[in-house]
Structure 1
């Protein structure tokens, strides 16, 4: 809107408007006086364009998204720390102090875990203590039995018997915009479907919610929640949604909040690869491509779209004999799941 003219066009227009028989050639006094302002005017046009875009929630960026969202009573969800348990094997009597830092690695990045409770290694030589990721965010959700070290416990063997959970990244601009637009564009009022969806999505780590009214008779509502990665949220997140809705819901409503049920979609395929690649070289890339499709697939997993996800992976030249399925039943038909389910990548076998 404001950037239709560049500095050359602006300079040309200004020279054209100069009255009288004066020298307007490059290097003339008039030209040299108008050339610098034309550059500044071009810059100001871009500033005005940004000001205009930041005035609307749909096109706002960075802190302006927060400012526009606050006008509608919505606030960006902050990052959350991952939590879990550490199993420490050390000599009996060893003290495990609060704030002891344990180091591990996840996706190639170092992760610091902080022990949050005091304990002493018993005669058995093993003790379990609670810990949290020092830095909040999704990367703190480390898998079970990760390798760990601790400067303060040099002789200890430390691991986590179960994965760390609950780590959530700071809400993205797009997620916050989506939540605000839901509030603005949908008729949210008096505890209707959209109201329950908004309440659920106000909790950190929850990006989607499916609301089923009257699911168990009059006055009942079921809210099925999905996390920011399109998967089942943790029990802690489900409880947080339930507690939040309980404070907001209309009097008389009986609300059940449940996590979406994950349905692994298994895939087998024979693939022809480029440049001497082997199936294991692009296994992860194909799984990621399938996951991107499944995140938008809804309740019908299309055979053709799974095949397309394989073919569009870089390095894949052609494919044959693709089969998809769930619960061990494979074929070349579409796979249907219920509204309370979400499809995730299962076992992908490539030959």
Structure 2
């Protein structure tokens, strides 16, 4: 708002108030007397502008954003730990049960056993919060001796860990809550409740999906992929564990929480390379950019995968000069994504 109030603008305005028959050139007494005051006024305007931006949720950042939204009952999501599946084996490959609370290491990260799933299968929680806990796979090394344990492995990501909510992520969630008032179990209520559960990255609500009083809550995780069974169970328990008003949902509402369906999108194309990068490098970069694009359109107003957009992404990959024969699921057109579904990356085949 005060960007125009620069030092030179203020200085010139002050000099213009001095009669022209008085020397006001740089180095004159008048000039040297006014210049420091103009500098201080410019600094004040900068502070005013910063303070003004700090009191509105669409421009505030960091602690200022937290302070503003707290009065509306909203809180920034903090970093969460990933929940992983582990397999434990004894002599001859037999399943072995390990103690709850036992600790294991993989790739420099430590994991704690928190829940038994089946014989030799357990949930483990990363002791380090954030997305880093989603990345490691393979052998688990026990931090304490466990009798009868021969080998252990870290496998599926059941509930992805996530970083502390950024200003933009938190702002978007807060403004959505403010612009879509929640009341008496409306759609906005169910969206808000589902997003309050750690690990949920998106929600669609389908009212009356199976008759009067029924509500279907379709969720994806923070990776923008279909939610796992443990995450579904957590959301179900939080919103409506038995449909009797024990959770957040109104008494009598029949709530079903489900994972989004997957619409797999396969990409094939022939590319013209500039000779500076290998085909493997180009493919890896394209797959990462394509996956990011799919995550960005998950549960969007128009979640279809655009043929032209995929082509544009391919052209932005370093090493690609051009492409031909681009196909999405075998066709040269958009890929539709229905209600309650998200697009996920399938096989990518690049030649050239």
TM interval, short-chain normalised = 0.7 to 0.9
- Output the CA distance in 2 between the equivalents of 1:207 and 1:243: 17
Counterpart-to-counterpart distance in 2, 1:302 and 1:83: 33
**Deviation string for 1:252-287 (max 9, x for gaps)?**
211111121233211111000113422212112111
* Equivalent residue number for residue 249 of structure 2: 249
Distance 1:303 1:173 in 2: 32
Q: Where in structure 2 are the equivalents of 1:264-275 lying within 5 Å?
A: 264-275=264-275
1:277–1:340: structure 2 CA closer, same or farther, 3 Å change rule? same
1:315 equivalenced with 2:307 (yes/no) = no
Give the counterpart of 1:219 among 208, 213, 217. Answer: 213
Q: Indicate the residue corresponding to 1:167 in structure 2.
A: 161
> Does 265-274 or 34-43 show the bigger shift?
34-43
Question: Given the superposition, is the C-alpha separation of residues 16 and 64 from structure 1 closer, same or farther in structure 2, using an over 3 Å criterion?
Answer: same
For 1:228, the equivalent position in structure 2 comes to 222
Q: Say whether the 8 Å CA contact 2:99–2:113 is kept in structure 1.
A: no
Structure 2 residues not aligned, in runs of 5+: 92-97, 115-119, 241-246
Contact 1:166 1:237 in 2 (8 A): no
Q: SS of the counterpart of 2:48? A: helix
Which of the residues 117, 125, 131 maps onto 1:138? 131
Which residue does 1:30 correspond to in 2?
30
8 Å Cα contact 2:158/2:230 also seen in 1: no
Contact 1:291/1:345, CA 8 A, preserved across alignment: yes
More deviation, 183-192/2-11: 183-192
| Superposition deviation, residue 288 in structure 1 | 2.4
Query: Once structures 1 and 2 are overlaid, which stretch shifts more, 21-30 or 336-345?
Result: 21-30
User: Larger deviation: 73-82 or 21-30?
Assistant: 21-30
Alignment of 1:37-186 (within 5 A): 37-86=37-86, 102-104=105-107, 111-116=108-113, 131-145=124-138, 159-163=153-157, 165-186=159-180
Describe the shift of the 1:253–1:97 C-alpha distance in structure 2 as closer, same or farther (beyond 3 A): closer
Structure 1 segments unaligned to the other structure (5+ residues): 105-110, 118-126
> In the superposition, relative to structure 1, how do residues 44 and 234 fare at CA in structure 2: closer, same or farther (>3 Å)?
farther
Alpha-carbon displacement from aligned partner over 1:73-116 (angstroms, at most 9, x marks no partner): 1111121112335557799xxx9996756240xxxxxx421445
SS at match of 2:251: coil
**Structure 2 SS opposite 1:34:** helix
Change (3 A) 1:175 1:270: same
- Paired residue for 2:94? none
Cα distance 1:161–1:206, how it changes in 2: closer, same or farther (>3 A)?
closer
For 1:197 and 1:100, locate their aligned partners in 2 and report how far apart those are by CA, in whole Å. 36
What's the TM-score, normalizing by structure 2?
Answer: 0.82
Q: In structure 2, how many angstroms separate the alpha carbons of the residues matched to 1:68 and 1:335?
A: 41
RMSD: 3.3
